[in-house]
Structure 1
C-alpha cells in the first residue's frame, strides 16, 4: 500500500515532545527518560497508536514505547500521543532491525506484534517480524520470562510464526485461531485494523511466546 505524503510530517515529528529523537543514546538508560524503573513494553509497528495509547492509559505503572518506521504513519499517531498526563508513553521513528542499538539486554518485559505485514512471498520471509532473525533480537532485549504477544488476521503468517517459534525453542501458549470467541478475549485491546476485521466477521489469530 502506498502511503500518502503528509506535508511537513518530518518537522511535526521532530518538534513533538513524545517522539524520541536520540533513542540510541538511551540504550540501557530508559529509566532516565521515564524517571522511574517501571517495566517497559514496546509495540513494533504502532500505526496510528490506538492500541498502545489505550494500554498506557490503562496501566500507568508500565512504560510504553511504540516503534513505527514510516514517517507518514507515525505523524497520524500524534493525536493519540498528545495527552500531557500520559507520561508513560513515547514513540520512536525507526525500523525494528535496529532494536539492539536502542535497548540493552533484558531491558524490555513485553513485545507486541499486531497485524504485521505478512510478506506473503517465500523470498521475503526474512522480512516477517516473526522470522527467526527477529526472534533472536527479541530474545536479547527481553527480560527473563519476558514475552511476545502476537495478533494477526493472516492465517498463513500465523502458521508460519507458530512454526518459527517452536522450531527455535520458544514456548507458545494461549494460542487461539478465533480470539473474539475464545477464553483469551478478556482484557483484549483492539487496534484500528482489528476493529475493521472483526466488523467484517474475520477471525483474529493470537498467541503469546517466551523463552
Structure 2
C-alpha cells in the first residue's frame, strides 16, 4: 500500500493533544489518567483510519480504548473521526508497536485487537508479523493475567501462521471463525479494509486467544 504523504500531519497531531497523547510514557502504569473514568483498557495495534476503534468506543462507553498507529499520514484520518465523535473513552497514540513496553506496564491493558495487520509474507520478514512470538511476549508483558488478543484478517496464510504461533506460545483458543461474515458472531464492527475485502468476496478470518 502506498501512503499519500501529508506534510501537515505532524502539525495537526500537535494541535489535538486531548486526542493524540503527546507524552505517553508519562502514563505508564497509570493509563486511567488521560481518561475521564477508570475502566478496562483495550488497545488496537495498527488502527489505520480509525473506523473500528471509534465505533467500538461509541458502542462500549464502559471501556477505555487506545488506537495505535505508526504512520502520521494515516492516524490523522483516525483523528478526524475522533474530533467529530468527541469520545471521552478514546485516545490515539502515534507510536511503533515495538515501543509498547516503554509506554505500558504489566496489567495496564485488558485486551489487544489486531485487525488486518501487514502479513509480511516473505520468510525473512517473519519477525515483523504482529503475531510473531516476540510480539506475543511483548503483549504478555503489558496485558493483565488472562488478557486476550482478538485477531482478524482476510489473509489465510497469515491466519494459519498466527494460529500456529498462538498455539506454540501456549495461548488458549477461545473463538475461531473461518468465515466471519457468514457466522453467528454478533456485534462485529468492520474496519475499512474489512469492508473493502469482504465486498470483493474475500472470507474474513477471526479468532480470540487468551493468555494462561
Provide the residue aligned with 1:98 in structure 2.
Answer: 99
Written as runs of structure 1 = structure 2, the 5 A alignment for 1:179-190 is: 179-184=180-185, 186-190=186-190
Q: State the SS of the aligned residue for 2:135.
A: helix
Residues 57-108 of structure 1: CA deviation (Å, up to 9, x unaligned): 1111100001000011111222211146410000000001010111110110
Q: Does 1:69 align with 2:74?
A: no
Are the equivalent residues in 1 in contact too, given 2:36–2:89 (CA < 8 A)?
A: no
The size of the alignment, in residue pairs, is 210
What per-residue deviation string (whole Å, max 9, x for no partner) do you get for residues 137-165 of structure 1? 11111112210000000000000000001
1:160 match: 161
Match of 1:3 in 2: 3
Q: CA RMSD in A?
A: 1.0
In structure 1, distance between residues paired with 2:190 and 2:135: 24
Runs in 1 of length 4+ with deviation above 6 angstroms?
A: none
Distance 1:22 1:109 in 2: 21
Aligned with 2:176: secondary structure? strand
- 2 CA distance for matches of 1:19 and 1:91? 5
**TM-score (structure 2 length as normaliser):** 0.96
Q: CA contact under 8 A between 2:46 and 2:67: conserved in structure 1?
A: yes
In 1, the alpha carbon distance for the partners of 2:184 and 2:138 equals 30
Unaligned runs of 5+ in 1: none
Aligned positions of 1:102-121 closer than 5 A:
102-121=103-122
Distance in 2, matches of 1:30 and 1:51, equals 21
- Return the alpha-carbon distance in structure 2 between the equivalents of residues 83 and 58 of structure 1: 16
Aligned equivalents of 2:194, 2:85: Cα separation in 1: 27
- With over 3 angstroms needed to count, the CA separation of the structure-2 counterparts of 1:161 and 1:84, relative to structure 1, is closer
The runs of 5 or more residues in structure 2 that have no matched partner are none
